C-alpha cells in the first residue's frame, strides 16, 4: 500500500490536462495523513468509477489534445532501452533490490529519527550509483526480468522521496512518527508535500491543506 501517489484533485484530475489517476495510483488526500487498513479498497472502487467517468467525458468532449512532448518520450525511450534493457553491469539487480528494501526497513520504517533517515538517504544514493541497470533476459514478450528491473528503477525514486520528505517533516503526524519530534507541529507543517522529478534529486514543494468539517486533533485509541 502507498499512502502517497500522483497528486490529483477530488475528481482524480492531475496537474496535466487530460491525465487522470485513481485508487492506489492517486493521492486525492481523502484520508489525510493516515489511512485505515481496508479503506484503500473502497477508494479504488469509488474513485475508479468517478474518475473513469470524468476521464471518459473529458476525452469525448475534447476537440484537440495538448501538444505531445515527443522529445521527452524519445529521451525516456533512450534511457530505458539503451540505459537499462541493453545496459551492462556487474551487480545483480535482484540483490540490489533486497539491499534497498533492507535500507528502507531499517532506516525509514514506522518510527524514525533524523540520524537514521540521513544515513538511509546516504546509503540509498550510494547504492543507486552501482552498475545494476541491466537485463539478462532479452525476450521481447513476457519479460519479467525487464519488469523487475524497471520496478527497481521506480523503487529508487519513490524511496528517495520518502526519505527526503521524512527528513524535512520534523514532527509526528498520522502514520509519520519521528522519535526525535514526537509532537504534531501545525504551525510549521500543516501542509502536503509534493515531490517533482529531477535527475539529481527530488524537488520538494508545499501544498496547502483543505480543511472543511473536521479540524486536526490528537489521535487516540
Among the listed ranges 3-7, 9-13, 50-54, 101-105, which one has the minimum average pLDDT value? 3-7
Q: Which residue has the cell 519513490?
A: 158
**Which residues contact residue 139 at a Cβ distance below 8 angstroms, ignoring those fewer than 6 apart?**
146
SS (H, E, C) 158-196: HHHHHHHHHHHCCCCECCEEECCECCCCHHHHCEEEEEE
CA 4, distance to chain mean position in Å, is 6
Q: Taking the CA atoms of 107, 217, 209 and 9 in sequence, report the sign of the dihedral they define.
A: positive
- How many whole angstroms separate alpha carbon 140 and alpha carbon 189? 47
- Write the pLDDT tens digit of every residue in 122-170: 999 999 999 999 999 999 899 999 999 999 999 999 999 999 999 999 9
**What DSSP assignment string belongs to 76-96?**
HHIIIIIIIIT---SS-HHHH
Question: Domains of the chain, with CATH numbers?
Answer: 1-66 (no CATH), 68-221 (1.20.58.100)
- Confidence tier at 43 by pLDDT (50, 70, 90): confident
Amino acid at each position: 500500500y502507498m499512502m502517497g501517489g500522483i497528486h490529483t484533485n477530488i475528481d482524480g484530475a492531475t496537474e496535466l490536462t487530460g491525465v487522470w489517476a485513481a485508487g492506489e495510483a492517486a493521492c486525492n488526500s481523502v484520508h489525510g495523513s493516515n489511512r485505515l487498513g481496508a479503506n484503500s479498497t473502497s477508494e479504488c472502487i469509488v474513485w475508479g468509477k468517478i474518475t473513469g467517468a470524468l476521464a471518459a467525458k473529458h476525452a469525448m468532449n475534447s476537440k484537440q489534445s495538448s501538444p505531445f512532448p515527443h522529445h521527452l518520450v524519445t529521451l525516456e525511450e533512450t534511457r530505458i532501452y539503451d540505459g537499462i534493457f541493453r545496459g551492462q553491469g556487474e551487480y545483480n539487480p535482484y540483490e540490489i533490490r533486497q539491499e534497498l528494501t533492507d535500507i528502507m526497513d531499517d532506516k525509514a520504517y514506522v518510527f524514525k529519527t533524523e540520524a537514521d533517515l540521513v544515513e538511509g538517504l546516504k546509503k540509498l544514493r550510494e547504492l543507486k550509483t552501482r552498475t545494476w541497470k541491466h537485463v539478462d533476459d532479452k525476450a521481447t514478450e513476457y519479460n519479467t526480468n525487464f519488469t523487475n528491473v524497471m520496478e527497481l528503477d521506480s523503487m529508487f525514486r519513490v524511496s528517495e522521496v520518502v526519505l527526503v520528505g521524512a527528513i524535512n517533516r520534523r514532527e509526528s503526524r498520522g502514520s509519520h512518527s519521528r522519535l526525535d519530534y514526537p509532537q504534531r507541529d501545525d504551525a510549521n507543517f500543516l501542509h502536503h508535500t509534493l515531490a517533482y522529478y529531477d535527475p539529481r534529486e527530488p524537488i520538494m514543494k508545499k501544498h496547502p491543506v483543505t480543511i472543511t468539517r473536521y479540524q486536526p486533533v490528537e489521535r487516540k485509541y
